[in-house]
Amino acid sequence: MPRVWNRSYVFPSGARLELGKRTLVMGILNATPDSFSDGGRYVEPARAAEHAQRLAAAGADIIDIGGESTRPGGESVSEEEELRRVVPVIEAVRRALPQVTLSIDTYKAETARQALAAGADIINDVWSLQKDPQMAAIAAAHGCPVILSHNRPAAVYEELVADVITDLQASIALALAAGVQQHNIWLDPGIGFAKTHSHNVQLMGSLGELCGLGYPVLLGTSRKLFIRNVLGLPADQVVEGTAATVVLGIAQGCQIVRVHDVEQIARTVQMTDAIVYYGQEAKG
């Protein structure tokens, strides 16, 4: 699949990002007590900053910071509680890593606004601008990339892939209407969100259709339930399964991968890029 974007981003924080030269790795930092994989481990800003440094040293290009677990069945938190969790963590991570790109994992506009003021560079919205009507305006006002992750209230579809694309196109239209620049729109198929096991497997094989929309695509499969179910293993023992999904995603055109196991997946990405990007350049 062709690389969709070949673009340099320079953020107000001073962080820089090159999209299109190779696959970018987004490392996960959960400032939450209840995330399925690492809940409670990095709620203190100092510990979060130390972990962020480890992620960056292992190969993370972006560090995604979230204050509310988005696992199925996870409890929602108030805006005040989410801000209490994420703002000090973002500030601490930004001090420790002034050159690393940070994203805020939230669907609340005020959380996004304060997170950007604290040093975040990208909004990662798991509800694709659909939950908070002010989110698109915040993204437009800050001129920052916004990741639109597919989601629905329930896993009900007429035609899965077509419906996912239609939903994302609706969110793209919201973003553009609010003034978000086209190059600041990234997409995420929303693996694990409002999707059954068979939906996730089917969508993994159809990522090329999503990449064909002409926007950068982020793939977030790390340690998710459909991988754990296939392998029959707990979340901390499925790095090989995650790696398999990452390889398939890159081969179909995904440009960013969101993962817990940064060191192992960064190596997987490097090897996959050597094949996929070499093939593209050879043809060009």
Question: Tens of pLDDT along 256-272?
Answer: 999 999 999 999 999 99
Average pLDDT over residues 126-150: 97
CB 208 within 8 A of CB 252: yes
How far is Cα 274 from Cα 259, in angstroms, rounded to an integer?
Answer: 20
10 Å Cβ neighbour count for 3? 18
Quote the pTM value. Answer: 0.94
Percentage helix, strand, coil for the chain under 3-state DSSP, each rounded to 5: 45, 15, 40
Find the catalytic residue in 16, 54, 258, 267. Answer: 258
Cβ contacts of 28 within 8 Å, gap of 6 or more: 37, 38, 64, 66, 222, 258, 259, 260
Please indicate whether residue 47 is annotated as part of the active site.
no
Rg for the chain, CA atoms, rounded: 17
pLDDT number for residue 69: 80
Question: Tens of pLDDT along 41-67?
Answer: 667 899 999 999 999 999 999 999 999
- Please provide residue 121's backbone torsions phi and psi, each rounded to the nearest 5 degrees: -120, -25
Please indicate whether residue 283 is annotated as part of the active site.
no
Lowest mean pLDDT among 26-35, 111-120, 152-161, 187-196: 26-35
Among candidates 218, 151, 163, which has minimal Cα distance to 187?
Answer: 218
Question: Tens of pLDDT along 61-92?
Answer: 999 999 998 766 667 889 999 999 999 999 99
Find the catalytic residue in 224, 228, 267, 283. Answer: 224
